[in-house]
Amino acid sequence: MALLKIFRLNTQACLRDDLVKASNHKYTVSRSIFCSSHESSREHKVLHQSLATVVNNTRWNKLRNDISRTHTRSFVTSTVLFRKKVSRVKIPEKSADDNLSEDEILNDPQFESLRNQSRLQALATGVGGQVGVMVLQPWVKWGPQKRTDTSGQLMLQEAVALVSTLPLVSVVTQEVVSLQSLGKRMVFGSGTLERLVNEARANKSISCIFISLDIMKRSQIEELEAAFGMRIMDRYSVVLSIFHQHARTKEARLQVALAELPYIKKRVTYERDKLMVAEREKRLKAALTKLAGIRAHVRANRAKSSLPTIAVVGYTNAGKTSLIRAITQDSRAEGRNQLFATLDVTAHGCRLPCGVEVAFIDTVGFIQDIPTDLVASFKATLEDAIFSDVVVHVRDVSHPDYELQGATVSSTLGSLPLPSGTPVITAANKMDLGITRSPEQLADAYVVSATREEGIEDLLMAIQNEVLKVTGRKLWKFTLSTGSDQIQWLRGATGLVQEEIDEANPQITHVVAVLTDQELAAFTKNFEVKGKK
C-alpha cells in the first residue's frame, strides 16, 4: 500500500510536469478527464502481489511498468490559449429587410394582389377611363345619432368635393339619404335601397357608388356591390385614393402605404394574407423610423442654429400653402384648390419684420369622419407641429362649417403630445370669398386673404411677438458709431430691425436689434457696449 501511495504521488507529479510543459507553450489545460478502470478484488490481490515482488527483486522503473499494466489510468486534455476576457456588446442579427430600399418595400409584387382586391389604385389613377360616380350622403334625421354640429347638405358638399379631387372622376348624381340609424346591415332601408339601385342602373354614366361613411365593413361593401352591380367606396378608400395621387416624396408614399393597411386588413380572411399584411406593416414602420431619424436630425440642426419654426396647420383646403406663400414669398409654396393637395412636409424660410430668420412648415390637412388609423399614419408629418415653436391654425372663414372644421383640427391637435405652452394663432383665411361669422366670433382670429395678401402684416406681427417670447429674444436699442464693427457684428448675428443715422451727428447710428441673452452677453463681452430694452 505504501508503494501504491508512492505511485499515486508520482502520477500527480507527472501530471504537473505535463501542465508545466503545456504552459511553456503558452497553452493551458482547460479540462482534464481521468478515466479509471474498475478494479475487481482479484485485480487488487494481483496488484499487491506484484508490488511485493517488485520491491524485493526489480528496480523502480520495472515497478512502474508492472503497475501500469495491471491498473491503467489515462487522461485527455483539451488546450486553449489564455486570453483576457473581453466584454462584448451583443449586436442583433441584421434582418434581410434592412437591405431593402424604400422603393423595393413600396413596390412589393407579392402585396399587389391584396391591394388589387381592395382596388385602391384603380380609382386613383382613373384606370379604364372616365369614372361616373353617384354620391350618397347618409344622414340620420332623428334620434341619438343625429348630428347637430353640421347639416346633411354641407356634408354632401364636402363628399362631392372629396371625390371630385380624383382625376377622371365626375359626379353624375348626388343625394342626401335620410336614415333612422347607421346600424343597418345594408346601410339603407329596403325600399330606399331598391330605389337607389334602380336609379344607378338606369343611368349608364354611373359606374361607381360613393357612400360617404368613414369606413364600411367588408360584408356591407360586398352585399351592396352585389345589389348595385357596381363598385362601392367609402370615405376611407376615397381619401386613400387621393393620398396615392398626391404623394410625391418617398416619405409620403411610405405613409400612404402604411395608411392603407388597416383598410386592407379588414378585408383579408386567409391567415397567409394576414401575415403578409403584418410583415408589410413591420417593413414600412422600419423605413419610416429611419426617415424620422433624418427628420429629427434636421430639427436638431434648426434648434442648434436657433432657427424658430412655425407649423401651419388646418382643415384641408383652408389655404395653408397659399398663406405660407403670401408670408414668405416663396414660389415653391404653390397653393391648389384641392383637398389634401399637401402631403409632403415642406419648409419655407423668411425673415420676420424684426430681422429674425424663421421657417414656416407646411403640413397635411385634416378632415372629419376618417378613422384615427389614417391620421396616425402621418405621425411623422404631425411631429413638425409638435416640435414647432409656434402653431398657426388656418381656417376658412368663408365656409359655412367654419366652427366644425375648426373643432376637427383642434381635436386632432389635442390628441397629439403638443406642449401646453405652445402658442396657437388663428388665421381666418379667404375673407375675399365672404365672411360667414360676426366680428365677435372672430375676435381671437386674424382675418386675412392669402390670395390678395390682405391682413398679412398684422398676422405677421402677432407671429413675431410669439416667436420672441418663446425663444427668449428681446429688442435692444444701441447708439453706435456709424459703420463700426459693432454694427457689422449685429448684422451678422441676427439682422437688424432698424438702423438710423443721427441727423444732428452723422457719426452716430441708432440701432435696434433682436438678441437672445446669450447673444447679448457675447456682444457686450466683445465690445463692452450696453444697450437698452
Query: What is the full DSSP assignment across 4-41?
Result: HHHHHHHHHHHHHHHHHHHHHTTEEEEEEEEEEPPPPH
| Cα(296)–Cα(290) distance, integer angstroms | 10
Compute the CA torsion angle 469, 470, 472, 475 (nearest 10 deg): -30
Instruction: Report helix angle 60-70 to 41-57, nearest 10.
Output: 170
Closest to 469 in 3D by CA, of 425, 406, 412, 418 = 425
Q: How many CB atoms lie within 10 A of CB 292?
A: 15
Nearest to 429 by CA among 460, 463, 452: 452
What integer pLDDT is reported at residue 531 of this predicted model? Answer: 61
Contact 401, 154 (CB under 8 A): yes
Q: pLDDT value at position 81? A: 41
Q: Which three cell numbers stand for residue 426?
A: 388663428
What whole-number distance in Å separates Cα of residue 398 and Cα of residue 429?
Answer: 8
Q: How far is residue 418's CA from residue 393's CA, in Å, rounded to a whole number?
A: 14
In angstroms, the CA 105 to CA 251 distance is 12
pLDDT of residue 268: 83
CA 330 to chain centre: 26
The alpha-carbon radius of gyration of the chain (Å, integer) is: 40
Instruction: State residue 136's pLDDT score.
Output: 98
| DSSP conformation class of 434 | -
Contact between 464 and 353 (Cβ < 8 Å): yes
Which residue ranges in the chain fall short of pLDDT 50? Answer: 1-41, 43, 46-48, 51-56, 58, 60, 63-64, 67-96, 124-126
Of 281, 286, 307, the C-alpha closest to 361 is 307
Which residue is associated with the grid cell 478515466? 35
Per-residue confidence (pLDDT) for residue 264, from 0 to 100: 87
Partner residues linked to 276 by β-bridges:
none
If residue 405 lies in a helix (H) or strand (E), which one and from where to where? helix 402-414
Strands 390-396 and 309-314, how do they pair? parallel
Q: DSSP letter string over 45-109?
A: HHHHHHHHHHHHHS-HHHHHHHHHHHS-EEEEEEEEE-------PPPPPPPGGGG--HHHHHT-H
**Residue 299 DSSP class:** H
pLDDT tens column, 261-315: 988 888 888 898 899 999 999 999 888 888 777 767 766 776 666 789 999 999 9
Q: Write phi, then psi, for 275 (nearest 5 degrees).
A: -65, -35
Residue 235's pLDDT is: 92
Q: Tell me what pLDDT residue 49 has.
A: 55
Q: Are 220 and 197 in contact (CB under 8 A)?
A: no
- Residue in 313, 315, 312 with CA at minimum distance from that of residue 408: 315
pLDDT in tens, 40-97: 445 455 444 554 444 445 454 554 455 444 444 444 444 444 444 444 434 344 444 5
Q: Residue 321, exposed/middle/buried by CB under 10 A (0-12, 13-18, 19+)?
A: buried
Task: For residue 377, give the C-alpha cell.
Answer: 399614419
Single-letter amino acid, residue 306: S
- CA 99 to CA 93: how far, in whole Å? 12
pLDDT of residue 96: 46
pLDDT score of 250: 85
- What are 317-357's pLDDT values in tens digits? 999 999 999 999 988 877 666 677 666 678 899 989 888 88
CA distance 222 to 231: 9
Residue appearing with cell numbers 444701441: 478
Helix ranges restricted to H, 229-319: 235-246, 250-259, 261-265, 271-304
Distances, alpha carbon 422 to alpha carbons 85, 186, 360, 387, in Å = 52, 46, 15, 9
* Cβ–Cβ under 8 Å, residues 410 and 368: no
- How many angstroms separate the CA atoms of 309 and 358, rounded? 6
